[in-house]
């Protein structure tokens, strides 16, 4: 076939998982989105996301640990920015994948040959897919 399958890189996979876990929080996603455009001090970031400075500092610490943001000190202020321009690409790709998944899920509500009106008449949950209960949000 000519297609070459890459060998499993356990260490690389662990690093990728750490990055995905760091981005998997709405506040951290928003922080990275803002920081991918320009650098900001913690206070400005806290205002942007509507959270306390202490909470934003904790989120930024997790992003630093994952290697996604770096800092620059200017006097008493610390400025944050993304560590690599590829971070913006990661966020954009995640957004595109999410849009595609949502689009496919919306399109799969009606089965083959079924009109949208007929699909709407079915009882909830009759679309043939499992509905998973959401876990309650926890503070991190």
Q: Is 35 exposed, middle or buried, given 0-12, 13-18 or 19+ CB atoms closer than 10 A?
A: buried
Domain that holds residue 47: 10-84
Domain count, the chain: 2
Whether residue 5 is contained in a domain is answered as no
Looking at residue 46, which CATH number applies to its domain?
A: 1.10.10.10
In this structure, are 45 and 57 located in the same domain?
yes
Q: Cβ(22)–Cβ(62) under 8 Å?
A: yes
Residues 2-52: tens digit of each pLDDT: 566 677 788 889 989 999 999 999 999 999 999 999 999 999 999 999 999
For residue range 62-97, what is the model confidence (pLDDT) as tens digits? 999 999 999 999 999 999 999 999 999 999 999 999
18 plus 47 within the same structural domain: yes
pLDDT attached to residue 45: 97
CA 85 and chain centroid, separation: 16
Q: Flag whether 27 is in a domain.
A: yes
Instruction: Give the C-alpha separation, 125 to 123, whole Å.
Output: 6
For residues 66 and 27, membership in a common domain is answered with yes
Look at residue 109 in the predicted model and tell me its pLDDT.
52
Residue 115 has pLDDT above 90, yes or no: no
Identify the bridge partners of residue 41 per DSSP, sorted by sequence position: 79
Q: Which two tokens stand for residue 17?
A: 């998982």
Q: Are residues 19 and 67 in the same domain?
A: yes
């Amino acid at each position: 076939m000519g297609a070459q399958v890459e060998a499993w890189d356990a260490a690389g996979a662990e690093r990728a998982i750490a990055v995905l876990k760091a981005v998997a929080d709405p506040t951290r996603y928003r922080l990275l989105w803002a920081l991918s455009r320009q650098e900001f001090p913690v206070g400005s970031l806290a205002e942007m996301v509507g959270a306390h400075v202490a909470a934003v500092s904790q989120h930024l610490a997790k992003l630093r640990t994952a290697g996604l943001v770096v800092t620059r000190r200017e006097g008493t202020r610390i400025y944050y920015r993304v560590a690599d321009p590829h971070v913006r690409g990661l966020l954009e790709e995640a957004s595109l994948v999410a849009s595609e998944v949502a689009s496919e899920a919306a399109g799969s509500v009606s089965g083959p040959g079924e009109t949208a009106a007929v699909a709407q008449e079915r009882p909830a949950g009759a679309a043939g897919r499992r509905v998973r209960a959401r876990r309650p949000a926890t503070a991190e």
